[in-house]
Structure 1
């Protein structure tokens, strides 16, 4: 049993290496295969323990960047996320009693990813297998199968690899290798034979502003007025370059999340700065702002700020971070006076908008920070006509960690998956312009002030992944449930029959 636990921990750590900063995604099938083998043939309670060991090895390394919030936050989040893999371990053990178990294991893996991406509260999607494939041949399949499909393919490849190891007979091993080869041919060959080439319907010029954060760079509130002033100064400088012919005039300017840490409608200094920048550049600015929503709530918004008409259309962050941007059960937790929680003075409300923002005649799908790791808002806006993606983010808290690179990889995945150009503005890293194939056209170095002016394509075509939307996930959940039923029900019947037989044959006393 100890050997299985150690194997599970090692495989979990190995899986974490698929993500930034190491980024060696070829380890994914082997890590999944090790997880499957480690949980195979155990009692369910033992499989829970082995699955938990895998989750601990995976999540504690993957989420090490959470230490910038506090070691208690890192320990708490990592332990919580690892529990989902404990349940997955027990479920994986159960379905391996059925002959089609590789498919059931893959469906269960994706179901687990969807589970921890949505619950509890707003969930935490970090660690989905698909988030590691942006620089692999499987990335070409993303417009066809999406994030859910890519995770399913990777989990299935690992399960089939495990089958080749545990198959008792030579014929079974040949079948397993054949299935693995067929999966690789379909997942990698079909996108190559039938590539999806974007055909832009138009073009736009976008200016991405990265203003940097004063001080050590990891505290957006250290000098929040200077953060705003940095955006204003760079935009005004760009206006001078445009007037002098050194830069093309953009159609709009993109500022990051937390460009203003105070309500720009109430704070006159902030309002005047935005107005001065928009009048200087003469085009709309998509401003990332914190907006008051009453004495107990705030909104995290992307606001279209026109130089003539002022503030207009808005996108509100869909997925505020639990315990970081809002406190659940506040009435109870406030009484405990937990130091870190008392810093969150007001709860951030969730947005529900799925209609694209309209900026300078362009339909834009906006995301704010961790929103980019969730499927719903991006799919919804693209499906409703968005022809360009924007991401406004403030990763200042994590600027000295690998979180910024992990998030940038997810951001690149969204460009590939939706077949859209994507522009991302961060307070101090990583900002960039990304093509629909995931290629980084322009990128600003972290902890620098930078202005990126690039011409991007506008595309209204909907990829199959977006068209399918949540249905691929629902299908995986259905398959997972079916696999559990097919494996557990006959097992319980056989167990009950054996108990009856043993009772019949046992001597009477």
Structure 2
């Protein structure tokens, strides 16, 4: 019998079809990785769709499974760009697209290392477990490097509600993120295994790979449900009546404080309105008042008019005020400071922001980055504080976490260990106008509430200010760019969650899982290349 060649049309179209199919097969993983990144972005606030996150990682798992290291790196980069470019768009609100895109690309390159690692361990038995550890190891790296790290966009911060959230009280943001990722990769492994298995229903049910993948998918959900009773809003040392002042700002953007004393005047005015309501009996007097970060736009230590205005507000409301101000320390260095202002004795205890925002509050390698943009000269030259400080405000111990610091596990944990009964996250989001930044940060604060079992107060200059219960739910909130006051009785809590007690160890343990998977994959690769007799 003679073999005959397949017919070829004069146009060559049939011969081109296999090439086209091959091209589409190569393109499919890229499309999956991009879809996964976009889906993870859609899951985070202001859209509260935390249940979408596992499906994002299921798509990522399908994209990188069994790929070579170079392909894993590239697919991780595609995923990172699809996720972080829209997520971080607020960073370019007032300075243009170059800093925004540079930050997104830099962070996506770190995420691409996770793609490489996940591809490397994806041929191991029980690969979703090792791949999830690799992801947490990558997040741990991103939270520390470069320039002190940038944890914004951690998987846990997109879970301010939902079935996985209670796990934050057991192992903090690393365990919460691990559960989400493991569930997603479990779904991917289940889909891949079901595709490969042929036979009766009984054979499918007895297949070890299917059972392992199903366990990876279901176990995190069951763990979250089991941890739910551990989350409580109960007061353990009575309640505190708290007032949050949102005074608003005269204008949006980097020049929000360009008009001298305007921001301070706005917050004094709103506090005086509260004092009038107290005097008339319309509302009960709060035990403490919280102003936002940068609520005094001039230094009250050296400007007598600012000092007098704050003192007037404190005396009128009859309660201590936590005031955010930019001040000059005794050594001459600028500080982003919170000041405990007593109505009788004036300024007292202080807390200086410890984890400063690079390229905003300070500028690393200023002369180098000036080559690319003159906007670097708009960055500050602040000096960080050195220790956690808890304010005693009429018997309530308030732990201070200033704005950007809420993204860092250790900063928040230190304040709770220092004795904080409630947490305050004073922020100034006026710089980022009406972007999604304030909602992303609010989601972080909600996760921190559950992680440490504390009510979290979020006073913001321009919104969204909020009162968050220890279970992460929002009791009250304001709109954006409007003056407002929130009054709430919040529980004082003294017990420490397992996450607070464990500290960094859950992250270490989960990182070791990822490292163990990489080591095992390396050993298997070496053994496969070793010559045999």
**Where on the TM-score scale, by shorter chain, does this alignment land: which range?**
over 0.9
Q: Is the 8 A contact 2:130 2:514 kept in 1?
A: yes
> 40, 44, 61: which one pairs with 2:69?
44
Cα offset for 1:342? 1.1
| Cα separation, 2, equivalents of 1:308 and 1:118 | 42
| 1:213–1:219 CA contact under 8 A, matched in 2 | no
What is the alpha-carbon distance in structure 1 between the residues aligned to residue 228 and residue 465 of structure 2?
30
Question: Matches of residues 144-155 of structure 1 in structure 2 within 5 Å?
Answer: 144-155=170-181
Deviation at 1:236, TM superposition (A): 1.8
Q: Does 1:425 align with 2:459?
A: yes
Aligned to 1:118, the other structure's residue is in SS state coil
Which among 142, 146, 150 is matched to residue 124 of structure 1? 150
Q: Distance in 2 between matches of 1:218 and 1:441?
A: 30
Match of 1:156 in 2: 182
Q: Does 1:367 align with 2:401?
A: yes
TM-score by length of 1: 0.93
Q: Deviations over 1:1-28 (max 9, x none)?
A: 3321222111111111111233322221
Larger of the two Rg values belongs to structure? 2
SS in 2 for 1:208: strand
Cross-structure match for 1:505: none
How far apart in 1 are the matches of 2:368 and 2:67? 41
| Equivalence for 2:59 | 34
Write the distance in 1 (CA, Å) between the matches of 2:459 and 2:297. 16
Q: CA deviation at 1:363?
A: 1.2
1:300 deviation in Å?
0.7
Are 2:314 and 2:343, in contact at CA under 8 Å, matched by a contact in 1? yes
- 2:366, 2:376 within 8 Å by CA — same for their partners in 1? no
The aligned counterpart of 2:377 is 342
Distance 1:290 1:195, change over 3 A: closer
- Aligned residue pairs total 497
Aligned to 1:179: 215
Q: 1:455 to 1:224 in 2, by over 3 A?
A: farther
Structure 1 residue aligned with 2:366, among 330, 349, 357? 330
How is 1:56-205 mapped onto 2 (pairs within 5 angstroms)?
56-69=81-94, 70-167=96-193, 168-169=196-197, 170=204, 171-180=207-216, 182-184=218-220, 186-192=222-228, 196=232, 198-205=234-241
Indicate conservation of the 8 Å contact 2:396/2:421, yes or no.
Answer: yes
- The alpha-carbon deviation at position 360 of structure 1 amounts to 1.8
Q: 1:385 to 1:2 in 2, by over 3 A?
A: same
- Deviation track 1:427-462 (CA, whole Å, cap 9, x = no partner) reads 010111111122222211111111112111111011
SS of aligned partner of 1:442:
strand
Q: 1:403 to 1:91 in 2, by over 3 A?
A: same
Moved more, 168-177 or 471-480: 168-177
* C-alpha separation in 1, matches of 2:332 and 2:38: 41
Deviation track 1:88-136 (CA, whole Å, cap 9, x = no partner) reads: 1111111123213211111111111121112111211121111122221
Asked if the contact 1:17–1:25 (Cα under 8 Å) also holds between the matched residues in 2, the reply is no
2 CA distance for matches of 1:95 and 1:224? 58
Please identify, of 46-55 and 185-194, the stretch whose mean Cα deviation from structure 2 is larger: 185-194
SS in 1 for 2:374: coil
| Cα distance in 1, alignment partners of residues 178 and 317 from structure 2 | 46
Task: Say if 2:30 is the partner of 1:5.
Answer: yes
C-alpha separation between the residues in 2 aligned to 1:95 and 1:173?
Answer: 15
Q: Give me the whole-angstrom Cα distance separating, in 2, the residues matched to 1:108 and 1:184.
A: 17
Worse-superposed segment, 45-54 or 173-182? 173-182
CA contact (8 A) 2:277 2:283 kept: yes
Of the structure 1 ranges 213-222 and 390-399, higher mean CA displacement relative to structure 2 is found in 213-222
Cα RMSD of the aligned pairs, angstroms, is 2.0
CA distance in 1, matches of 2:233, 2:213: 32
User: Aligned-pair distance for 1:189?
Assistant: 2.9
Which range is displaced more, 214-223 or 157-166? Answer: 214-223
